Amino acid sequence: MMDFWLERIYFGVCAAMAIAGAIGTVAFPNPIRGAMSLLFTIVAIAGMYLQLHAPFLAAIQLIVYAGAVVVLFLFVIMLIGPAATATRDARGLLARAIGGLAASAVSLQIILVLSRKVFARVPVAQGGFGSIESIGDLLFGEYLVPFEISSFLLMIAIVGAVAVARGKQPDPQLADEGETKAPKPTAEAHP
């Protein structure tokens, strides 16, 4: 009986945190506060993963999202500086209103469909359900090829992010062409 109520209270706290953080992410004019609210949501969702017998995903969620993605957002917001808080004006008000209405209608429908009683019965999880061993077995067995391909994707994303964020640098080769030959410190200097 005690466990029952504890689980309900835990879920309620996590759900309230997640929804409040989501509203904050969208509503705060200052993106730094938005990023902090996003962190709130992410931690709350990690808590819900724990309740759903997914401790591995909870850890990954905290490491990748809370540890990397939110910090990346904060870095970029601070690089941009005060301009990151965009000034508001009335342009595109109609399009935004239509977009907001459409998003509300679609999400209301999603919530209505998901809240049906079809999945109300929760089956008992086996002993190894959601354990790191079983997921590791799957990742390095059945899903080995997608796993390796995702590492390629991350590599390409790193290269692409660096290439895009670096911008146009003046090419040192072209800049030196008109000048007199300067002695280059190369490996030839060493016998």
Partner 1 sequence: MNAIPIPAFLVVAGIIFGIGAFGFLVRRNVLVALMSIELMLNAINLTFVAFNRAYPHNHTGHVFAFFVIAIAAAEAAVGLALVLSFFRLRKTVRSDEGDLLKN
Site for partner 1 in 122-161 (CB under 8 A): 122-126, 129-130, 134-135, 138-139, 143, 146, 150, 153-154, 156-158, 160-161
Our CB check for partner 1 shows the closer of 26 and 176 to be 26
Report DSSP letters for 22-66, one per residue: HHHHHH-SSHHHHHHHHHHHHHHHHHHHHHTT-HHHHHHIIIIII
Nearest distance in Å: CB 174, partner 1: 21
Among 13, 78, 108, 144, binds partner 1 (CB under 8 A): 108
Cβ neighbours, 10 Å, residue 156: 10
Our CB check for partner 1 shows the closer of 52 and 176 to be 52
Q: How many residues bind partner 1 (CB under 8 A)?
A: 91
Nearest distance in Å: CB 186, partner 1: 33
53: left (phi over 0), alpha (psi -120 to 50) or beta: left
How far is Cα 165 from Cα 158, in angstroms, rounded to an integer? 11
Nearest distance in Å: CB 81, partner 1: 9
How far is Cα 26 from Cα 21, in angstroms, rounded to an integer? 9
Nearest distance in Å: CB 170, partner 1: 15
36 is a contact residue toward partner 1 (CB under 8 A): no
User: How would you class 56 by CB atoms within 10 Å of its CB: exposed for 0-12, middle for 13-18, buried for 19 or more?
Assistant: middle
Tell me if 130 sits within 8 A of 55, measured CB to CB: yes
Our measurement of the distance from residue 36's CA atom to the centroid of its chain's CA atoms, rounded to an integer in Å, reads: 13
Our CB check for partner 1 shows the closer of 165 and 182 to be 165
Binding mask 68-97 for partner 1 (x = CB under 8 A): xx--xx--xx-xx--xxxxxx--xx---x-
